[in-house]
Structure 1
Amino acid sequence: MSQIAQLSEAEIEARFHIVGQRPVAFTLDGFAREKTGFSVQFDHGGEMFLTTLLAVLPEKRMLIFDCSGSPEINRRFLQSERSIFVAQPGGIHVQFVGGQAREVLYGGSRVFAIALPDRMVRLQRREFFRIDTPRVKPLQFYGRLPGGGLLVLAAHDISVAGIGLGAAVLSDDLVSGLVLSTCHFSLPEDKHDLLFSATVRHITEQDARGGFRQWRIGLQFNDLPRPAEARVQRYITHLERERHELS
């Protein structure tokens, strides 16, 4: 039985999240002092730039960070109502959601500011628990390709960070690095689909039985909402416990 299957939902929350403005401010202030680089994804994962956190101002409930080097990207970012900040300091995945940004003056320069988040996700590499999904009635993934075509593939594994898919035929539009801006799938017994954008991280060709070819496609979730993230974690925990009981 893996470690994650032994955790309660409260323990999962305590282990994988930093909650509250004071703990979050303390953590982000450390990243600012260490000049940790973050990627900022916006427009449903369709656009991204790299930034450095400059300062945390708890008294103003404000996070200050560098603009992009592109005036056009900066203009579009200021129009976005939601963004995702992601970093990997020391091999630990750190992620938080930002609201709409505004331009401010800091240290004599124009920079961006957002409201200080009150919640962060932190996952060490070993905590990206990836588990095989059922082959009978598999999770069915749907994604919209840039050309307008619909990608419909069965999942073969899942983690809180992404999903692995299997394909017998590979679309010419599907390449590593591609951002699928509109994706969804449903978990068993859930009333609502999970909605998100995703980035294709790898496409691996494999030999299947009978000499047929097939591909494994790894997708990273870009902007999975916090409640949806918790639903995925509960689903993984359920599968772990269920398989342990059958072993």
Structure 2
Amino acid sequence: MQVSHPSLGTENQSPYQVESKREILSILKGFRDKSQLISMMINGGSEAFITSVLDIDDKNNTLIVDSTPTSEANQRIIAASTVFFDGLLDRISIQFSSSNVKVISFEGKPALQMPLPSSVIRLQRRENYRINTPVSTPIKCVIPVEVDAGVQKHKFSLVDISCGGIAILDDGRLIDIAIGTSYPECQMDIPGIGVIEMELQIRNSQELTLLNGKTTRRIGCAFLNLSSKTLAAVQRYIMKLERERNAKMTGIS
């Protein structure tokens, strides 16, 4: 069965599709073992929640993920015909779907149980390789935003970064999320590299409910007319993050 995901559009997904149960279990266990957060979406992606994989039962072919903060949201997920998941694992975008979700108790807390996905989409695009930025010390992107008093510079926390663009969190819903909207004269202070300037263009947005119950908006932005010097700086930072991530995984740091 081919997975249809709301963010993939009409792209041919078959070259990236994984149907081997062994591989699917390995991918899902990777999310669990590395405590990697993942987006859980319903209603075609219009409603999204941050969750994590709690357990995989390969004997009963079930997947258990963390529930949402409210019973109302859990009921909407249960009622959804399909639930989509989208996350990053070892620099690869992982997407899958399931259905027939039900609420269970896992280690004394509410959780969501569903059948294991029959297939998984694994996307690794070198030109768009993105990596999560540190949560403990988030990078800030300064974007000039039009408000009633005129144009003001606001800071937004980065979620991830690639050579093609960034994803930011807009808690205050200040950004115009119309696809194609451009924001010139943006700045980003990259640790160890310094301040870089760029122009950003809105590509997508998504409302998210975090594990603590708070809501935010995740916005995907593409770099426009990035200079070769700035691109090189972004590449250096991505390599730095990758080295640090690998060091933590191997216990060196």
TM bracket (short chain): 0.3 to 0.5
More helix by share: 1
